[in-house]
Amino acid sequence: MNQLDEQVARRLTRFYVLALTCIAVLSLSGLLFIRRTLSDHYDDSRVVNVAGRQRMLSQRLTKLALLRITGTPSADTASFSALLRTWGQSHIQLRNGNLQMEKAYMVRKSRQIDRMFTAIEPVFQSIYQSLARIDAASATPDQKKAALQIVLRAEPSFLKQMNDIVFQFDKESFERVKSLEQIEWALTVATLLTLLIEGLLIFRPVVTHTKNVIRKLTESDNALRVVNDSLAVANKNLEDTNRQLVDTQQELLRTTEEKYRLQIAEDTVRSAGLLEGQEEERRRFARELHDGIGQMLTGLKLHAEKLKVIPFAEPKHRQRFEELCELIYDVIQTTRQTSHNLMPSVLGDFGLGATLQLLAEQTARSSGIEVIFEGDRDEKRLPPAVEIGLYRIAQEALNNAIKHADAQKIRISWQREPQIVLMVEDNGRGFSVKSSPKYEKGIQPINGLENMRTRVRLMNGALTITSKLKKGTKVSVHLPDMKNS
């Protein structure tokens, strides 16, 4: 069947392209001839009109010259000079074959017309110069009368020759139209012959060949119907097999989804246990720092203060002792700060709002950066795990803004109602959220961000991090409303 299709396509394409090409060429040729002849005929009509106008202008100029010399008044108000200039320019353009009107018209002239213009040229020049002398202000009345006599003698000859030129223009234009008619008849006959040849040599063979093709297609269709019946049985068996495969695939998907949910639940439990263990270890370590090392340092400070009353042999010993007391005080403050960072006691006593405010104040004092806290400071409390999680997120966001973003201003916002929202915003250099942030010192807060995401996920909340280069970073946490513990 493929060879049959290709054979039919090649034959139809070859014959039709040949026939249509012949018809298109003949049709376009006729259109081009008609368009060109109409354009030429329009130009010829314009030329004939201008040539006929030359006769009228010569007569009008002769009348105006006669009226001017005799002093007879006339209702004709046309300018004698303008008419003379138009008459002269039109004659020159007709003679040179380029007529300039509203557009350029080509004056097609035969040798006969050229000879006629050559014969009329002396008469035209005699009349034109005489009319110019009549129009000249410097000419005397006798000169003007003599010029008028020349015009009157030459005018009949000019009118006769100009009349012959007009009729010759019209005759040649008519001959060109007759020539177009002959060409059009020839093209029409050629087109009809082409259609006849196309009907005899193309359409009849194509119809015969098409009948044979249809017969073969009918036979092939019958054979194909038998094959389709066999394929229908095979397709039904295949559908049953596919249905079984789909059921198996759906069961596999359900098993995979269940395994994935179990894995997520296991990861959540593991993360919750890990974070809870970390917080418990921080709480224990903070208690040991406060109750153990803190108390020992406080005792050391009290003993050192008792030694202040003892006189020293030299002033430099007194100075070193003062420096030792200051060092002990700094160690105590550092220990308290470390204990507070591990587990602030304010969080358990006064709640998250007061703890965040204290965190902002301590961070501002230690870093020299402007840290502003805006939020609720009421006594409404959240579950301890939620307060610790939100505090760690704020603490991590502050550390990232100070260490990595080179921020100069940080704002902490906290609200309890109508929705639990914690936001930490800085004016640092920011980073591209789509790609991993890179910093000059090689420190990347990826683990910190992942810890924040894990804490928010365990609280069933939503974490949003928006950042643009050189535009700062904003970390927002939204939690569902929950009852007070």
Phi first, then psi, for residue 105 (nearest 5°) are -115, 135
Confidence of residue 122 (pLDDT cuts 50, 70, 90): very high
Nearest to 33 by CA among 173, 178, 175, 180: 180
Tallying the residues shown for the chain, one arrives at 485
**Per-position DSSP letters for 161-204, written without gaps between them:** HHHHHHHHHHHHHHHHHHHHHHHHHHHHHHHHHHHHHHIIIIIH
Report the 3 state secondary structure along 339-382.
HHHHCCHHHHHHCHHHHHHHHHHHHHHHHCCEEEEEECCCCCCC
- Tell me what the mean pLDDT of segment 422-444 comes to: 65
Nearest to 465 by CA among 429, 416, 424: 424
Q: How far apart are CA 42 and CA 107, in angstroms?
A: 11
In sequence order, the 6+-apart residues with CB closer than 8 A to the CB of 96 are 107
User: Is 34 exposed, middle or buried (CB count within 10 Å of its CB: 0-12, 13-18, 19+)?
Assistant: middle
Confidence of residue 207 (pLDDT cuts 50, 70, 90): confident
Confidence of residue 410 (pLDDT cuts 50, 70, 90): very high
- Most confident option among 17-26, 150-159, 247-256, 348-357: 150-159
Give the pLDDT score at 443: 39
Phi first, then psi, for residue 473 (nearest 5°) are -135, 145
Q: How many Å is the Cα radius of gyration of the chain?
A: 56
The CATH T-level fold of domain 346-485 is: Heat Shock Protein 90 (3.30.565)
The tens digit of pLDDT for each residue in 124-168 reads: 899 889 888 888 888 888 888 888 899 889 889 889 998 888 888
Q: How far apart are CA 388 and CA 396, in angstroms?
A: 12
Whether residue 11 contacts residue 209, with contact meaning beta carbons closer than 8 Å, is answered with yes
Whether residue 96 contacts residue 108, with contact meaning beta carbons closer than 8 Å, is answered with no
Task: Indicate the range of 19-28, 43-52, 251-260, 411-420 predicted with least confidence.
Answer: 19-28
The three-state secondary structure class of 408 is: coil
Whether residue 360 contacts residue 412, with contact meaning beta carbons closer than 8 Å, is answered with yes
Q: Please identify which residue in the block is written with the tokens 């961000």.
A: 449
Whether residue 484 contacts residue 378, with contact meaning beta carbons closer than 8 Å, is answered with no
